[in-house]
A and B are shown apart, each in its own frame.
Chain A
Amino acid sequence: MKIVGVSACTVGIAHTYIAQEKIENAAKKLGDDVKVETQGTIGIENELTKEEIQDADIVLLAVDVKISGEERFEGKKVVKVSTEVAIKSPNKLVAKLHEVAGS
């Protein structure tokens, strides 16, 4: 399955990147293709391309704040959680993404 996502937290220095790492590791464990864009203090990194969004089976937003470019995901299946959820139970979260994408 192809997953694209965005992570962003309030200060933009720690949770954003920890969530990114946790989501990517959990998804790779299930053999998924995954890319998580980070919107932190240093700005946007690992930015998602139009094609990647188009090809994705599901979009995961692990965000505590308003992100830029949310309209890019219009028409896609989107799951939105806090960074805490992504950090606490990444495996459960990825399992849920599979469920939502398959439904």
Chain B
Amino acid sequence: MDLISSINTQNILVNNDAKTKDEALRNIIHSLYLTGNVTDEELFLKDVYAREAEGVTGIGNGVAIPHGKGSSVVEPGFGIATLTDPIEWESLDDEKIKIVVLFAVSDSKEGAEQHLRLLSQFARKLGNDDVLAALKEAKNIDEVIEAFEV
């Protein structure tokens, strides 16, 4: 399985109308619940906020990469939301957030290594300015996926 084919289109929310950080997180977590990655939405939300408390997850350029690790994650995965209106979010450059990429990681890495490796490759992509620029311009699911092919 390569990076692109590992992207579950059901976890890509384009033009999401979330107005707050909490709403954006809940929307993505709900999609991860529907795809069976996460079994308990409230519990996972707590795990995500626990990480938020440790440090800023807005990496600049309008992109945030919240993540949570916990027992509610049965299959590691990620969800992406592109937001209609940029929202307030703690970030390294104080820019409002337009793209949220949420990583869900299980407690145990046993049997999850392939997924974790894919997540790490995916995170790496988010360090590439060209990928971020394409992601911010993406208007539909196909364009979101294409952004990672840069």
Give A residues with C-beta under 8 Å from B.
10-11, 13-22, 25, 38, 40-42, 45, 64, 84, 87-88
Contacts and interface: CB of A to CB of B under 8 A. Distances in A.
B3 interface: no
- Interface magnitude class on chain B: 20 to 34
Contact of A11 (B51, B56, B109, B126): B51
Q: What secondary structure prevails in chain B residues at the interface with A?
A: mixed
B127 A18 contact: yes
B56 to A, nearest CB: 7
A11 B127 contact: no
B146 interface: no
Interface of B: 51, 54-57, 59-60, 65, 67, 69, 92-93, 103, 105, 109, 113, 116-117, 119-121, 123-129
Contacts of B129: 25
A60 B80 CA distance: 31
Contacts of A64: 55
Contacts of B109: 41-42
Contact of B65 (A14, A45, A84, A88): A14
